[in-house]
Chains A and B, each alone.
Chain A
Amino acid sequence: MKKFFAQTYLWLLLAMLYAPILIIAIFSFTEAKVLGNWTGFSTKLYTSLFTGGVHHSLLGAIENTLIIALVAATISTLLGSVAAIGIFNLRNRQKMIMNTLNNLPMLNPDIITGISLFLLFVSFGITQGYTTVILAHVTFCTPYVVLCVMPRLQQMNPNIYEAALDLGATPFQALRKVLIPEIKSGMISGFILAFTLSIDDFAVTIFTIGTEGLETLSTYIYADARKGGLTPELRPLSTIIFMTVLLLLIVINIRSERANKTKKA
């Protein structure tokens, strides 16, 4: 009996968590303009999403989102990995301070990050557009990369970098041939995380995207919803994005699981 309640509770909770996305996914397979009307099964929304039946600006927004996410994730992976190596080599006290400084931005509400970056760009007179959005995304993604790379460094035998130097590698060669292969899996996880964070972001983006007409997916959807009703094609799009993110998360989890297993073996 007790087990029955525990099970019910769990499933209710999951249902509540996943209901909104499930509803969107279900209604992406019908043609009705208004969400909630079922006019029979159809994949027309999916085809029109990909065959240009949609508003031209939606595809543009998707493209912008992907470019920004790729560039921002790449830059933050590089910055974050270098930062992690640097922090790892600090003495205890400094290391603790730097780790705390790294963790703070992640706890900071997005809206605050967005406003402060907006003010920063304005006060430096930087024109808002692609650059500012990418800079902003790098700002909030980098700490997550540091967090992904750090455990790999901690698991590493501290002597192997020295062993490489000892065998005649210059510090740069030792970094490239020994250190980076060791932390590579952490860097990949960090990249994937940064990528999804960037795609997902709205609060920071809206403050840094400027007024030149640049749109990312999140700002496009926001504007679209305010104009009156969502474009029906957003339903298949949301479904696809959700599935992609789900897939990426599964990949990250499998990777870390596998890393743990090899460690134990």
Chain B
Amino acid sequence: MKDSNFIIELSHISKSFGDKQVLDDVSLYVKKGEFVTILGPSGCGKTTLLRILAGFGTADEGEIKIGGADITEVPPHERPVNTVFQRYALFPHLNVYDNIAFGLKLKKVKQDEIDVRVRKALKMVGMTDYEWRDVNSLSGGQQQRVAIARAIINRPQVLLLDEPLAALDLKMRKDMQMELKDMHRTLGITFVYVTHDQEEALTLSDTIVVMSEGRVQQIGTPTDIYNEPVNSFVADFIGESNILNGVMVRDKVVKFMGREVDCVDKGFGENMPVDVVIRPEDVYIMPPTDSGMFEGVVQSCIFKGVHYEMTVLTPDGYEIMIQDYNAFEVGQSVSMIIKPSDIHVMKKERVCNCFEGKMIDSTHVEMLGASFVCSEQPNVEGGETVEVEVDFDKVELMDNKEDGITVGDVRFILYKGDHYHLTVRTEDGENIYVDTHDVWDDRDIVGVRIMPEDIKIKRING
């Protein structure tokens, strides 16, 4: 594993700010010359990870190696990395030349060489003849170019980029993406790029690291990540997708939306509940025909430039998103076909809520930081630790947090075609997963209630 091929080796990095764990056992190995993107929603810990790599923050646990040397305790100015910041962070009191020459002057490089290298760096970022300009008079895009030149002139082993294009407008962002990719190819430096923009990640990277809630969800090439997401979070975050509940009937046969369908996945076992992912562009839509796999009625149709985006409602109540070059009118009946190879099956991370609880007495159990009423448990003693199971659809969420037995906030919403699958984080930091038909918003504060008969209690030792 710890081959000398790796230029960056991050092993088991953990970090907390107060009570909040931002990085939880993150490991990442980067090959020399690779373009790696750390992708995730805001607050997933990606910037913290980059700062630890640059040396602006320290990890509570774990080890960092660059080029084989342990740099866990090395201060930022002695690390062989350079950073491009989101808000450029140019020195406002220096002109373009002095900004770019800053690193070389500190290293006491000879003046003639500095001149040559500054000019070369400026040419690289397409800013020739800007040497004597005041940095405050430059546009956002120009400032970021200077910031990139200022970093690459030092010939670092690794270039760290912290959402460098986030502050630029769309057109400029697209242009700069291409330039960055060219620059990466020419320089041969390893790039570690942080972004929350999945399209940017797919465009630029050799390898994408998807992060959520301080953990690495998946590491892979853009194609892998897009075509073979490992879980519903990745599938939902990267591109558009239909994620549906299904059952793997046997190898190469999966049942979803009320039909058994051929697929190419195997090895899940028989009658296993699974998540089925179908990309909207992989659904073939056509006027009603006998050879269709699914039938439905078009609910909406929006022109998106290259294609039309349609939602189709099946008789069983599933909503499917479809992208196609042809438009179908709202209200029209249609047939749909999905190729076996376009049906992606993922193992479910969980099939029901499972908590550790403590019996208070025979009709009360303590879990999720609150006391829940449960049905009479004749064989269990007060004070005993038990295993508690609750089905996803048996958890009730209420608008008024006072109405619930405990309180939580909605962290992640997944649309499953006919219902929403929510992740709710309770006050004591545990997650409870809920299936509901009601619409909730991200970060909604909700009351959580479970009926006594829906709380299934198992003794841990038989």
B126-155 with Cβ < 8 A to chain A: 136, 150-151, 154
The tally of CB-CB contacts under 8 A between chains A and B is: 69
Determine, out of A98-106, A158-166, A188-196, the stretch whose residues face the partner at the interface.
A158-166
A167 at the interface (CB under 8 A from B): yes
CB distance A166 to B77 under 8 Å? yes
CB distance A166 to B83 under 8 Å? yes
| B151: chain A residues within 8 A (beta carbon) | 166-167
Most chain B CB within a 10 A radius of its CB, from A164, A168, A174? A168
A262 at the interface (CB under 8 A from B): yes
| B92: chain A residues within 8 A (beta carbon) | 157, 160, 182
Q: How far is the CA of A265 from the CA of B135 in the complex (A)?
A: 12
CB distance A163 to B91 under 8 Å? yes
Given contacts A157-B89, A168-B77, A168-B106, contact A163 B136 (CB under 8 A): no
| A265: chain B residues within 8 A (beta carbon) | 136
Given contacts A167-B103, A168-B107, contact A159 B89 (CB under 8 A): yes
Q: How far is the CA of A171 from the CA of B55 in the complex (A)?
A: 13
| A7: chain B residues within 8 A (beta carbon) | none
Task: Look across to chain A and name the residue whose beta carbon is closest to the beta carbon of B147.
Answer: A163
Partner-B contacts on A (CB < 8 A): 157, 159-160, 162-171, 173-174, 177-178, 181-182, 262, 265
CB distance A262 to B136 under 8 Å? yes
| B154: chain A residues within 8 A (beta carbon) | 167-168
Residue interface bits B72-105, CB-to-A below 8 A is 1, else 0: 0001111001110111111111000000001100
Q: How far is the CA of A6 from the CA of B77 in the complex (A)?
A: 62
CB distance B89 to A162 under 8 Å? yes
B107 → chain A, closest Cβ, in Å? 6
| A171: chain B residues within 8 A (beta carbon) | 75, 77
* A169 contact from B56, B77, B83, B88, Cβ within 8 A: B77
B139 → chain A, closest Cβ, in Å? 13
B54 at the interface (CB under 8 A from A): yes
Residue interface bits B42-56, CB-to-A below 8 A is 1, else 0: 000000000000111
CB distance A166 to B91 under 8 Å? no
Task: Look across to chain B and name the residue whose beta carbon is closest to the beta carbon of A265.
Answer: B136
Give 8 CB contacts A-B under 8 Å: A159-B86, A162-B83, A166-B54, A166-B83, A167-B77, A167-B151, A167-B154, A169-B102
Given contacts A159-B85, A182-B92, contact A165 B136 (CB under 8 A): no
Q: How far is the CA of A168 from the CA of B136 in the complex (A)?
A: 23
| B82: chain A residues within 8 A (beta carbon) | 166-167
A66 → chain B, closest Cβ, in Å? 31
Given contacts A157-B87, A159-B87, A265-B136, contact A167 B106 (CB under 8 A): yes
Q: How far is the CA of A265 from the CA of B92 in the complex (A)?
A: 13
CB distance A162 to B77 under 8 Å? no
* A170 contact from B56, B77, B150, Cβ within 8 A: B77
Q: How far is the CA of A153 from the CA of B86 in the complex (A)?
A: 19
* A164 contact from B75, B78, B88, B102, Cβ within 8 A: B102
Task: Look across to chain B and name the residue whose beta carbon is closest to the beta carbon of A163.
Answer: B89
| B93: chain A residues within 8 A (beta carbon) | 181-182
| A160: chain B residues within 8 A (beta carbon) | 89-92
| B83: chain A residues within 8 A (beta carbon) | 162-163, 166
| B78: chain A residues within 8 A (beta carbon) | 168
Most chain A CB within a 10 A radius of its CB, from B55, B78, B102, B150? B102
Task: Look across to chain A and name the residue whose beta carbon is closest to the beta carbon of B79.
Answer: A166
Q: How far is the CA of A137 from the CA of B337 in the complex (A)?
A: 85
| B86: chain A residues within 8 A (beta carbon) | 159
Q: How far is the CA of A244 from the CA of B399 in the complex (A)?
A: 67
B194-218 with Cβ < 8 A to chain A: none
Most chain B CB within a 10 A radius of its CB, from A163, A164, A178? A163
B422-453 with Cβ < 8 A to chain A: none
| A164: chain B residues within 8 A (beta carbon) | 91, 102
| B90: chain A residues within 8 A (beta carbon) | 160, 163
Given contacts A168-B103, A168-B154, contact A162 B76 (CB under 8 A): yes
Q: How far is the CA of A262 from the CA of B93 in the complex (A)?
A: 12
CB distance A163 to B85 under 8 Å? yes
Task: Look across to chain B and name the residue whose beta carbon is closest to the beta carbon of A180.
Answer: B93
| A157: chain B residues within 8 A (beta carbon) | 87-89, 92
Residue interface bits B214-243, CB-to-A below 8 A is 1, else 0: 000000000000000000000000000000
Residue interface bits B28-62, CB-to-A below 8 A is 1, else 0: 00000000000000000000000000111000000
| B77: chain A residues within 8 A (beta carbon) | 165-171, 174
* B76 contact from A159, A166, A173, Cβ within 8 A: A166
| A165: chain B residues within 8 A (beta carbon) | 55-56, 75-77
Q: How far is the CA of A171 from the CA of B78 in the complex (A)?
A: 11
| B85: chain A residues within 8 A (beta carbon) | 159, 162-163
Q: How far is the CA of A159 from the CA of B163 in the complex (A)?
A: 13
Q: How far is the CA of A170 from the CA of B77 in the complex (A)?
A: 6
Q: How far is the CA of A177 from the CA of B92 in the complex (A)?
A: 11
| B150: chain A residues within 8 A (beta carbon) | 167
Task: Look across to chain B and name the residue whose beta carbon is closest to the beta carbon of A156.
Answer: B92
Q: How far is the CA of A82 from the CA of B331 in the complex (A)?
A: 71
Q: How far is the CA of A205 from the CA of B78 in the complex (A)?
A: 50
Q: How far is the CA of A182 from the CA of B87 in the complex (A)?
A: 17
Q: How far is the CA of A83 from the CA of B56 in the complex (A)?
A: 22
Q: How far is the CA of A167 from the CA of B106 in the complex (A)?
A: 8
B157 → chain A, closest Cβ, in Å? 13
CB distance B106 to A169 under 8 Å? yes
Most chain A CB within a 10 A radius of its CB, from B75, B87, B90, B93? B93
